[in-house]
Structure 1
Amino acid sequence: MRFILPLATLALMLSACQSGTPITPENDSQTSDAAVDQPLSPGARPVRIGENGANFAACGARGIVTIGEDKNVPLRAAPFDEADQVTALKAGQRMFICTRSIDQRWLGVVVPQTRDGTSASADCGVNQRVERPQAYTGPCPSGWIANALVRLTAD
C-alpha cells in the first residue's frame, strides 16, 4: 500500500525550507568589495611527517631535484601551482620526501640547507621516529614540489 502526500502538504513542507531572507550583496555582512576583488589563494599546507607509522623514520624516502642545470624549481607552501614560493631549489638539491598530495602530483619535502643556502647533510630531525603524524616544525625549509621534478634516491 502506498502513502501519497497531498500536494498541499508537500507544498507547505517545501515552503518551510525556504524561510529567511535571501542573501544579496546589500544585506550580506560577510561580503566586501575588497574580498570580491582578491583572487582565491590556496593558502599554506604544512608538510606532514610520520605518516608511515611510529616504527619508521618521520620521512620515509629521499630524493633529488632533476631539472636542468640552469633552472630553479620553486618549493611551494601548498600543493598547487598558485601557492606562494617558499624558496627555490637547484638541480641536484637533495631532500627528504615525507608525504604526497592526494592526486600524487606533489611531494611534501624537507630540504636540508646550510646558512648560505647550499645543500647540507643534516637530517633536519626527520630521520628519527615520531609518535604520530604531525606537521613538520623543524629547522629546515619544507614545502611542496612537483613530483615530476624529483627522482627517488637510495641515500
Structure 2
Amino acid sequence: MKRGCYLTILALSLATTSAAHSQESARIPVIGLEGPQADACPGIGRINALEPRKGDLLRVRAEANEGSQVTDELNVATLVWLCEADDDWQGIVYPKGQFQELGDCRVSAALSAPEPYAGPCQFGWVQAKYVELVTG
C-alpha cells in the first residue's frame, strides 16, 4: 500500500473515533424516573419563553450545561416530551423529521425501571425556563 493510502486510512480512522467519542460523551436523558405507575416521560412541554424576535431558536445541547455541544435547534411552539430534570435543565425527547409525531417517541407508557432513552426520536437538554408545561 502506498503512503497516501495509509494517510487516508489514518484520517478516516481518527474521524470515526472522534465522531464516536462525541456521541458517547452526550448525556442521554433517563426515562421512567416516576416509576412503573407513570409514563416514561411524565409531561409534555412547549418551547415558548424565548425572546419575541423573529427566527429565535432554542438550542438543544448534548449535556445539561451551557458550554455543552449544540446538537439541534427548536422553533418556538415545538412540542417536546419532558423526561429527566437536572437543576435548571430539562432532558427532552422530541420527534424530528417529516414522518414523525410526538406519539412516535415511545415514552407515553410506563417502564418497570428507569433507563436511558434509546429512540427512535431525538433527545437532548434545554434550559427549563424556555419550556412551558402543557400537560403532566
Give the TM bin, normalised by the shorter chain.
0.7 to 0.9
Q: Secondary structure at the match of 1:86?
A: strand
Root-mean-square deviation (CA, aligned residues, Å) is 2.0
Q: How far off its partner does 1:55 sit?
A: 1.2
Q: Output the CA distance in 1 between the equivalents of 2:43 and 2:123.
A: 14
Higher strand fraction (1 or 2): 2
Q: How far off its partner does 1:121 sit?
A: 3.5
Length-normalised TM-score, structure 2: 0.74
Q: Output the CA distance in 1 between the equivalents of 2:66 and 2:132.
A: 20
Q: Output the CA distance in 1 between the equivalents of 2:101 and 2:111.
A: 22
Structure having greater relative contact order (Cα 8 Å, sep ≥ 6): 2
Higher helix fraction (1 or 2): 2
Q: Secondary structure at the match of 1:122?
A: helix
Unaligned runs of 5+ residues in structure 2 are 1-21
Question: Which structure's CA Rg is the greater one?
Answer: 1
What is the number of residues matched between the two proteins?
110
Moved over 3 A (4+): none
Q: Output the CA distance in 2 between the equivalents of 1:131 and 1:110.
A: 19
Structure 2 residue corresponding to 1:106, chosen from 81, 89, 93: 89
Unaligned runs of 5+ residues in structure 1 are 1-40
Provide the residue aligned with 1:59 in structure 2. Answer: 41
Length-normalised TM-score, structure 1: 0.65
Provide the residue aligned with 2:8 in structure 1. Answer: none
Q: Secondary structure at the match of 1:75?
A: strand
